[in-house]
Amino acid sequence: MKDKSILFNELEVWIDDLVREKASKLNKLQNITKLLKEEIEYYNWVGFYFVDKENLEELILGPFEGAPTEHTRIPFGQGVCGQVAVDQASHVVQDVAQEDNYLSCSLDVKSEIVVPIFKKGNFIGEIDIDSHKVAPFTDEDEVFLKMIAEKVSELL
Ligand code: SME
């Protein structure tokens, strides 16, 4: 695999192009998930969760790329995604076998990173990445995903 910083810089340019395209917001989000899953070999599931506007204590699954998940709604506090909703801070789980508050999607998933998305200072959703590798995530992934969270926030 290419050096992460080179790859992430290239992907940032592609994501800027995707965000500027004439397409619906949903299509843009879907294209971002597709791009990340295709280009980053250890990103095996890439998806968005958004706060349910009718139940502000629950997340709803948005566009995603990868295996279908039974976790289409996640109450705040449950699993890694639910913890991020409560803490409003990124969580990195390098080995899901060591995490008590974890909702399993598939036995193939070994690690997860979840980064919150804010709009005008309010928590509105998250980017969730599952990997089939143990401990693939570094600070670079977190910085990269925060950058994407900001771009997504602008397009919503
Ligand atoms: N593992 C997540 C559930 C969502 S799936 O990864 C798609 C969690 O613990 O919140």
Q: How far is the CA of 33 from the centre of ligand 1 (A)?
A: 15
Phi, psi of 136 (to 5 degrees): -90, -15
Full-model pTM: 0.96
Ligand 1 pocket test target in 36, 74, 96, 137 with most atoms within 8 Å of CB: 74
- Residue-wise pLDDT tens digits, 30-82: 999 999 999 999 999 999 999 999 999 999 999 999 999 999 999 999 999 99
> Closest Cα to residue 92, out of 78, 111, 75, 108?
111
| Confidence label for 26 from pLDDT (cuts 50, 70 and 90) | very high
> What is the predicted pLDDT for the residue at 2?
74
> Closest Cα to residue 81, out of 97, 98, 105, 53?
105
**Contact partners, residue 138, CB within 8 Å, separation at least 6:** 4
Residue nearest atom 1 of ligand 1, based on CA coordinates: 103
Phi, psi of 39 (to 5 degrees): -95, -20
Structure tokens at 85: 């909703």
Identify the three-state secondary structure at position 142: helix
Domains and CATH numbers, the chain: 4-155 (3.30.450.40)
Q: What is the mean pLDDT of the chain?
A: 96
Establish whether residue 80 lines the binding site of ligand 1, counting it when its CB lies within 6 angstroms of any ligand atom.
yes
Ligand 1 pocket test target in 130, 132, 137 with most atoms within 8 Å of CB: 130
Structure tokens at 69: 């998940």
